[in-house]
Structure 1
Amino acid sequence: MATEAKAGNAIWETVKTVVYALLIAGVFRTLFFQPFWIPSGSMKETLLIGDFLFVNKMAYGYSYASCPSLMLPGIGINVDAEDVCGWAKGDNDRIWGGDPERGDVVVFRHPVSGRDYIKRLIGLPGDKIQVKNGVVIINGTPVELKPDGVFEEIAEPQGPQGSPPRCENGPVGLGGICEKSRQIETLPNGVSHSILNIGNQSSDHTGIYSVPAGHYFFMGDNRDNSSDSRLPQSAGGVGFVPYENLIGRADRVMFSSAGRSMLFFWTWRSDRFFKGV
Structure 2
Amino acid sequence: MKNWVRSNKGFIVFLALLGIFRTAVADWNPIPSASMHPNLLEGDVVFVNRLAFDLKVPLTDVILTRLGEPRRGDVVTFSSPADGTRLIKRIIALPGDKVEMRNGLIVINGKAASYASLGQQYETLPQGSATPALLLSERYGDAQHEIQLLPYVDAVRNFKPRVVPANQYMVLGDNRDNSQDSRYIGMVSRELLIGRAERVLVSADIRGNWMPRTERFGKSLR
Distance 1:29 1:249 in 2: 13
The structure with the largest alpha-carbon Rg is 1
Q: Which residue does the alignment assign to 1:184?
A: 137
Instruction: Give matches, 1:2-41, under 5 Å.
Output: 14-41=7-34
Deviation per residue, 1:50-85 (Å, 9 max, x gap)? 111121001001346x62xxxxxxxxxxxxxxxxx3
**1:24 CA displacement:** 2.1
Pairs aligned (count):
219
Q: Which residue does the alignment assign to 2:41?
A: 48
Q: Which residue does the alignment assign to 2:214?
A: 270
Say yes or no: does 1:252 pair with 2:199: yes
Say yes or no: does 1:194 pair with 2:146: yes
TM norm structure 1: 0.72
Distance 1:12 1:115 in 2: 33
SS of 1:244's equivalent? helix
SS of 1:23's equivalent? helix
Q: Which residue does the alignment assign to 2:116?
A: 146
- Conserved? CA contact 1:63–1:244, under 8 Å: no
In structure 1, the gaps of 5 or more residues are 1-8, 68-84, 157-162, 166-170, 173-177, 231-236
Q: Which residue does the alignment assign to 2:52?
A: 59
Deviation per residue, 1:99-151 (Å, 9 max, x gap)? 10100000011123111111000010000111102110001110010111123
Deviation per residue, 1:25-59 (Å, 9 max, x gap)? 11211221112111111100111111111210010
Instruction: Give matches, 1:167-178, under 5 Å.
Output: 171-172=129-130
SS of 2:202's equivalent? strand
Distance 2:177 2:168 in 1: 23
**1:14 CA displacement:** 4.7
Q: Which residue does the alignment assign to 2:167?
A: 214
Say yes or no: does 1:115 pair with 2:85: yes
Q: Which residue does the alignment assign to 1:101?
A: 71
The one of 84, 88, 96 equivalent to 1:126 is 96
Say yes or no: does 1:240 pair with 2:205: no
Distance 2:202 2:127 in 1: 21
- Conserved? CA contact 1:151–1:196, under 8 Å: no
Distance 1:273 1:14 in 2: 38
In structure 2, the gaps of 5 or more residues are none
Distance 1:203 1:94 in 2: 37
- Conserved? CA contact 1:34–1:54, under 8 Å: yes
Distance 1:50 1:124 in 2: 29
**1:251 CA displacement:** 0.3
- Conserved? CA contact 2:96–2:163, under 8 Å: yes
CA gap 1:211/1:59 in 2 versus in 1, 3 angstroms: same
Distance 2:17 2:64 in 1: 23
- Conserved? CA contact 1:94–1:244, under 8 Å: no
Distance 2:66 2:37 in 1: 32
- Conserved? CA contact 2:34–2:178, under 8 Å: yes
Percent identity reads 37
**1:94 CA displacement:** 4.9
The one-letter code matched in structure 2 to 1:185 is E
- Conserved? CA contact 1:43–1:119, under 8 Å: yes
Distance 2:170 2:5 in 1: 51
Q: When you count strand as a share of all residues, which structure comes out higher?
A: 2
